[in-house]
Amino acid sequence: MREQFPYFEKSPLNSDLERPIYLDNAATTQKLRTVIERTCEFYSNEYATVNRSSYPLANRASRYYEEVRQLTADLINAESSAEVIFTSGATQSLNIVASGLCASQLNGSKLVILESEHHANLLPWQQLCKRHDLNLCVIKLAEQGTWTQEQENNLLNAIDEDTAIVAMAHVSNLLGNIYPVEKVCIKARRMKALSIIDGTQAIAHLHVDVKAIGCDCYVFSSHKMYGPTGLGILYCRFSLAENLYPSQFGGEMITDVTFEAFDMQPPPLKFETGTGNIAAIIGFKPAVLFLAQHIANIIEHERALYEYALAKICQIQGVQVLGNRDNSIGIISFIVDSYSIVDIANALYQQNIACRVGTHCAIPLMKGLGLDNCIRLSIGCYNNEADIDEFSSALANAIALNNDKISTDQDLNQSSLVDYTLRELTLATKVLRASSWDNKHRQLLLASKQLSILDVDSCNADAEVLGCETQVWILRKNGLYQAQAKSKIIKGILAILFEKADSLSNDSLLTFDFFDYLHSLGLAKYFSSGRKDGISNAIKRIKDLA
């Protein structure tokens, strides 16, 4: 299947360009060649608006558009294409349902969710609970994010006659756990509760049959199933969709309008106001056909590769895998004992590995697990054993590179003072002279040892710098900058910033371009968008304290 994705070909503009080992498929997937070609063909030769004009070009576009709706209905075994609503993404799909339900449709005072829900399947329901005075019932996971028979029993027992809605993922985006949605929907239906299933992480990795699941709604996104971005699907049982009030109003969702009122189209059109993402919908067809044809082989291939990856990663000392090892799709999230996971991830990035570090839009779950962040590897249909070998080798290298007897937790309980004004710019010079990424990484680790460490009592809200990938605190005491961070790489960068700041007069410091300075030292690769925002805030704090 790999040959069907242009990403894995060498760039025609630069044959030496090495593309990353792509293992971030839970975030988004690479695109099928047929998806790219179909989208370009539509834009180049067939573009027109849909469901409005009746000239031949528009009629053809409308026919293509509705054909994709029917193919999508067939893919998930919906009763009718009228139950398939095009949206901008799974997030909008969930918001349409949550904002469109009225009190008369809620047969209870409780809404049940899982602790592991993505923010997109939590925040809309928080708002609904506030509007309708519902109680949010959260089913906790077991140790390290596992789902056991006890959790299943707790969930099923929580769904009772007082339950209005059950909203849960088919598969956890952070853990990969596959949840028993069929059993849940049976119980919900018996209790006259609505069942809303977030299928975003399931649709490209499992066979999805909404009739067999028995849910009222099922949502997913095109971009996570090898299709275009900017397109989501809301499957909504027709009788529910008829009574669901739209959250947006405008052209083409109406049958008649006066200055006082309007009459709405039936589903799905009453939810598709304005001009939709027509090209994405047309380009979605090859992705739907691809999954319809290959899903059985994909499931088999990804299961074997997941087991291979799990075995390789678990051989590495200190790795702790989160979530279930069985009954999971190809997602492996983990931490490494006694190491800053941000530093490990940064070393992976420098070795050309594309994976994700962070809270993965599941902050309540991470807090429940007592973790700041974790690394997530996620498999797609095009990955192979060579990708996993590269990843496991890079992970072992990253751990070896970051090896240090002093852990971050120990550092948090120590304080030290370094007077940067008493020395030349030795830290920056060493980083500048380090030619390879691993040598620069080592120099940042060494620089972290030269940071003036802020005492633990001073690591409070007043000193905290927000927006970083990990917690950071900065103060100035007795004319000296001090800081603390849960990442040695960030500590090293802060030490270099402090060193430079203390070499400048106050007037010069306020106008100095610290970002340009870090770039001149060859540290640009260390700034993800999240870390760049954090470093910007740290620089602002340094200037504010001058």
Q: Which pLDDT value is given to residue 410?
A: 39
Q: Which pLDDT value is given to residue 12?
A: 54
Q: Which pLDDT value is given to residue 17?
A: 54
Q: Which residue has the tokens 């040959």?
A: 3
Is residue 482 within 8 A of residue 453, CB to CB? The reply is: yes
Measured in Å, how far apart are the chain's first and last C-alpha atoms? 57
- Domain of residue 467 covers 427-545
In terms of domains, do 374 and 436 share one?
Answer: no
User: Is residue 202 included in any domain, yes or no?
Assistant: yes
Total domain count, the chain: 2
In terms of domains, do 23 and 162 share one?
Answer: yes
Q: Which pLDDT value is given to residue 93?
A: 99
Q: Cα(386)–Cα(8) distance, rounded to whole angstroms?
A: 13
In terms of domains, do 365 and 448 share one?
Answer: no
In terms of domains, do 390 and 431 share one?
Answer: no
523: left (phi over 0), alpha (psi -120 to 50) or beta: alpha
Q: Cα(427)–Cα(433) distance, rounded to whole angstroms?
A: 10
Q: DSSP letter string over 42-110?
A: IIIII---SSS--SHHHHHHHHHHHHHHHHHHHHHT-S-GGGEEEES-HHHHHHHHHHH--GGG--SSE
In terms of domains, do 230 and 322 share one?
Answer: yes
Q: DSSP letter string over 192-252?
A: T-EEEEE-TTTTTTS---HHHHT-SEEEEEGGGTTS-SS-EEEEE-HHHHHHPPPS---TT
Q: DSSP letter string over 88-101?
A: S-HHHHHHHHHHH-
In terms of domains, do 230 and 298 share one?
Answer: yes
In terms of domains, do 371 and 444 share one?
Answer: no
- Global pTM? 0.90
Q: Which pLDDT value is given to residue 409?
A: 42
In terms of domains, do 340 and 435 share one?
Answer: no
Q: Which pLDDT value is given to residue 11?
A: 60
User: Is residue 41 included in any domain, yes or no?
Assistant: no
User: Is residue 389 included in any domain, yes or no?
Assistant: yes
144: left (phi over 0), alpha (psi -120 to 50) or beta: left
Q: What is the pLDDT along the chain (546 residues), one digit of tens a residue?
A: 999 999 998 665 555 557 899 999 999 999 999 999 999 999 999 999 998 888 999 999 999 999 999 999 999 999 999 999 999 999 999 999 999 999 999 999 999 999 999 999 999 999 999 999 999 999 999 999 999 999 999 999 999 999 999 999 999 999 999 999 999 999 999 999 999 999 999 999 999 999 999 999 999 999 999 999 999 999 999 999 999 999 999 988 999 999 999 999 999 999 999 999 999 999 999 999 999 999 999 999 999 999 999 999 999 999 999 999 999 999 999 999 989 999 999 999 999 999 999 999 999 999 999 999 999 999 999 999 999 999 999 999 999 998 854 344 434 444 555 554 445 678 999 999 998 888 999 999 999 999 999 999 999 999 999 988 889 999 999 889 999 999 999 999 999 999 999 999 989 999 999 999 999 998 887 776 556 778 899 999 999 999
Say which CATH number the domain at 476 has.
3.90.1010.10
In terms of domains, do 325 and 360 share one?
Answer: yes
In terms of domains, do 390 and 447 share one?
Answer: no
Say which CATH number the domain at 366 has.
3.40.640.10
Tokens of 436: 């390879």
Please confirm, yes or no, whether 185 is among the known catalytic residues.
no
User: Is residue 121 included in any domain, yes or no?
Assistant: yes
In terms of domains, do 518 and 370 share one?
Answer: no
Q: Which pLDDT value is given to residue 317?
A: 94
User: Is residue 63 included in any domain, yes or no?
Assistant: no
In terms of domains, do 393 and 442 share one?
Answer: no
Q: Which pLDDT value is given to residue 417?
A: 55
User: Is residue 39 included in any domain, yes or no?
Assistant: no
Given the residues 40, 361, 374, 459, the one annotated as active site: 361
User: Is residue 71 included in any domain, yes or no?
Assistant: no
User: Is residue 161 included in any domain, yes or no?
Assistant: yes
Q: Which pLDDT value is given to residue 422?
A: 42
Is residue 234 within 8 A of residue 85, CB to CB? The reply is: yes
Last residue of a domain, one of 406, 439, 463: 406
